[in-house]
Amino acid sequence: MSGNKDLYDAILNGNAKQAHAATQAAIAAGAAPMELIQGSMVPAMDEVGRLFEAEEYFVPELLLAGRAMKAAMELLKPLLSASGQKMAARVIIGTVKGDLHDIGKNIVASMLEGGGFEVIDLGADVSPETFIAAIEQQQPQIVCMSALLTVTMPAMKLTIDALKTSGLRSQVKVLIGGAPVTMDYAKEIGADGYSENASGAVGVVKTLLAGA
Amino acid sequence: MAERSKSCLEKLNRMKLALSHQEADRVPVSDFFWSSFLRRWRQEYGLPSDTDIYRYYDLDWMQFNPNLDPHIKTFEILKDTPEEVVVRTGFEAVIRKKYDQAMPAFLTFDTNSIDKMRMFEFDDPWDPRRFFSAGDDQINGVGDSFARNLPPFVDRMNAAWPDFPVFGGVCEAHETMWRIVGSENVMCWMGEYPDEIARFAQRIHEFALGLLKAQIKAADGHLDGIVIWGDVAYKKGMMFSPEFWRKYFKPGVKALIDEAHSHGLPVIYHGCGNVRKIFQDFIEIGVDAYNPLEFKAGMDVLDLRRRYGHQIGFCGNMDVQLWANGSQEELKAAVLTKLNAAKGGGFIFQSDHSVPSNIPPSSYEYVVKLVREHGRYPLQLGGYDLPEFNNENSRHSGYAS
């Protein structure tokens, strides 16, 4: 790891205060924001994801790493905006209409931010119309949808159909996930990708973007 | 109090034999139902709005919870429209229930800091209002439906007692904790303040043990078992580390099981998700049957039977997604294949969580009929028979994980 070790360690250990302090110190020392993101934060979240896949980290560690990363990004986002630099891609994420579960979706959002993406979180109970409006306004490359109930999964297809009707389908890649969701279901409803967990979502998004 | 019916005594024997890994007359069958499924079922079958599905299909057991809320209080109504209600409950959580949505939304938790969690007090678990008074409570009243002023626990339980085996219920520490402080706080504080979470888990388990003892006393010998509600996992695995669970949650769960067993009451443990990392622990602490065995989380009753033999019973595992979308041929294949796990007893047939509204009532009925027809001992499973599960073999211990 060639980047800022203090920042890397702070994120890996889920210490938001230390992440904030390390970022502040790095900025003061002249580090470029994108260098901190790509050189320290993304590798840290990659390692968090690896540890989660290996079942050495669990939801608490993921959430705390996400909070630490957010604490660092609070300082970096204004600097990125000022310099006109953009994150690797823009992602819109939400739990579909009728479904109020959000902890899984929140973890995916954290992991995607940690993966160097700009994430716009629409929250839970998001109607197809709300997804459409957000896509029109924010122009994302990726749309992520989450559902935790078998009775709310159909809203994923409704949203994809709404994308087609509104002429937006070809502008975005759609990734779905959630407890009852499977790869087969993703193919059935015309989604572009599926991830069975939060850490895997980052890899799937990168694959989708590479193939775009 | 009426005597127990002949049918009830048969069901009791059926459940008792199943839970002690013996073959009764047939495999027991029951379930937990979404209120939206019940509405659909009554409507499609032209049944009166108060038709009881347990009586209609003569299912094999029922479950009742007393008021398990930390604070015994009437719901504080913050908003009430034809579309939704917003209430503050005895967990001091503010919950919005939109009537056209399956699940409620937890908006805020009053106990939103470590200091508040430290100071949180529980009302007396022995308070008679929990068992003998009508009232509001979150566990029974705010879920896929919304209900207020429920009849007393003992009345609800005793109404079913003549005709059904009745199980009581209690929540283990995580199930209670997230309802008090919110899931995200539980998870984050586990990482940031593990000792505080450990202390709170211990306090909750002391409260739960009191609730259990009091419930058993209040039921005055009428309970036939206990369900412990305890989600600690999701689709891919544990929400938090097995080591943390073993150190700070397992002892409390064991104490609940030991208490139930001291009264001769078997324990069905309900825990969603993939719990394979701690499944051996549940066996060790004496869980009599594990529920619901979510198929979508990779829990497969046949795989579990191979792995653990008859060290533990199983209750659940019928894939609700297949149940909702499968053809009759597919449903028959799934049901008869799963019934292999019932060789030598130890299996109660149920869904892999609860029966949701997207399961056609005709499919629900078809599956129950299949279990009734093909779940009669000795099992005749035809082309779905798996000799590896034959009775003699299935009594051997499974290989260790």
Q: Which candidate in A51, A126, A149, A151 is best for mutational testing of the B interface (most B CBs within 10 A)?
A: A151
* DSSP 8-state class, residue B398: P
Q: Are B49 and B64 in contact (CB under 8 A)?
A: no
Find the closest chain B residue to A96 by CA distance. Answer: B101
Range of lowest pLDDT (A83-92, A179-188, B227-236): A83-92
Find the closest chain B residue to A59 by CA distance. Answer: B239
Strands B84-88 and B93-98: antiparallel
pLDDT at B178 (0 to 100):
98
CA dist list (Å): B151 to A102, B56, B89: 33, 22, 17
Does B63 fall in a domain? yes
Neighbours of A45 (CB within 10 A): 28
How far apart (Å, rounded) are the C-alpha atoms in residues B171 and B179?
11
Does B78 fall in a domain? no
How far apart (Å, rounded) are the C-alpha atoms in residues B127 and B27?
38
What is the per-residue pLDDT across B202-245, written as a single tens digit (0 to 9) for each? Answer: 999 999 999 999 999 999 999 999 999 999 999 989 999 999 99
Confidence of residue B392 (pLDDT cuts 50, 70, 90): low
The residues that bridge with A145 in the sheet, in sequence order, are A94, A176
How far apart (Å, rounded) are the C-alpha atoms in residues A58 and A100?
22
What is the Cα gyration radius of chain A? 17
Q: Which candidate in B94, B142, B178, B187 is best for mutational testing of the A interface (most A CBs within 10 A)?
A: B187
Please list every residue in chain A whose beta carbon sits closer than 8 Å to the beta carbon of residue B102: 98-99, 149, 151-152
Strands B105-109 and B93-98: antiparallel
pLDDT at A101 (0 to 100):
86
Q: For residue A6, give the nearest of A31, A50, A40, A34 by alpha carbon.
A: A40
Does B374 fall in a domain? yes
Does B280 fall in a domain? yes
Is the pLDDT reported for residue B256 higher than 50?
A: yes
Closest partner CB to A60 (pick from B102, B187, B296): B187
Range of the domain at B221: 6-73+113-394
Please list every residue in chain B whose beta carbon sits closer than 8 Å to the beta carbon of residue A182: 296
pLDDT at A84 (0 to 100):
85
Query: What DSSP element (H or E) covers B79?
Result: strand B76-80
Does B97 fall in a domain? no
Q: How many domains does chain B have?
A: 1
Q: Tokens 């995607």 correspond to what residue?
A: A112
Does B175 fall in a domain? yes
Please list every residue in chain A whose beta carbon sits closer than 8 Å to the beta carbon of residue B106: 100
Which tokens hold the place of B161? 């007692």
Does B91 fall in a domain? no
CA dist list (Å): B147 to A6, A62, B96, B143, B157: 52, 36, 13, 9, 17
Q: What is the CATH number of the domain that holds B332?
A: 3.20.20.210
Find the closest chain A residue to B191 by CA distance. Answer: A60
Q: For residue B222, give the nearest of B142, B158, B306 by alpha carbon.
A: B158
To the nearest whole Å, the CA of A178 is away from the closest chain B CA by 8
Confidence of residue B397 (pLDDT cuts 50, 70, 90): very low
Q: For residue A49, give the nearest of A121, A106, A114 by alpha carbon.
A: A114
How far apart (Å, rounded) are the C-alpha atoms in residues A137 and B308?
54
Alpha helix segments (H runs only) across A54-190: 59-83, 103-114, 128-138, 154-165, 183-189
The residues that bridge with A117 in the sheet, in sequence order, are none
Q: What's the mean pLDDT in B339-356?
A: 97
pLDDT at A190 (0 to 100):
97
CA dist list (Å): B240 to A16, B201, B294: 20, 14, 18
Does B401 fall in a domain? no
Q: How many CB pairs under 8 A join A and B?
A: 72
What is the Cα gyration radius of chain B? 21
pLDDT at A1 (0 to 100):
54
Provide the whole-model pTM.
0.94
What is the per-residue pLDDT across B82-132, written as a single tens digit (0 to 9) for each? Answer: 999 999 999 999 999 999 888 999 999 999 999 999 999 999 999 999 999
Q: What mean pLDDT, rounded, does chain A reach? A: 93
To the nearest whole Å, the CA of A104 is away from the closest chain B CA by 10
The torsion angle over the Cα atoms of residues B94, B98, B104 and B105, rounded to 10 degrees, is -60
Per DSSP, the three-state class of B237 is coil
Cβ of B33 under 8 Å from any chain A Cβ?
no
To the nearest whole Å, the CA of B309 is away from the closest chain A CA by 26
pLDDT at B198 (0 to 100):
98
Range of lowest pLDDT (A115-129, B339-353, B384-398): B384-398
How far apart (Å, rounded) are the C-alpha atoms in residues B274 and B290?
12
**DSSP letter string over A9-56?**
HHHHTT-HHHHHHHHHHHHHTT--HHHHIIIIIHHHHHHHHHHHHTTS
Confidence of residue B399 (pLDDT cuts 50, 70, 90): very low
The residues that bridge with B129 in the sheet, in sequence order, are none
Q: Are B322 and B328 in contact (CB under 8 A)?
A: no
How far apart (Å, rounded) are the C-alpha atoms in residues B112 and B115?
8
What residue ranges define each of the domains in chain A, with the CATH number in brackets? 5-83 (1.10.1240.10), 90-210 (3.40.50.280)
Confidence of residue B396 (pLDDT cuts 50, 70, 90): very low
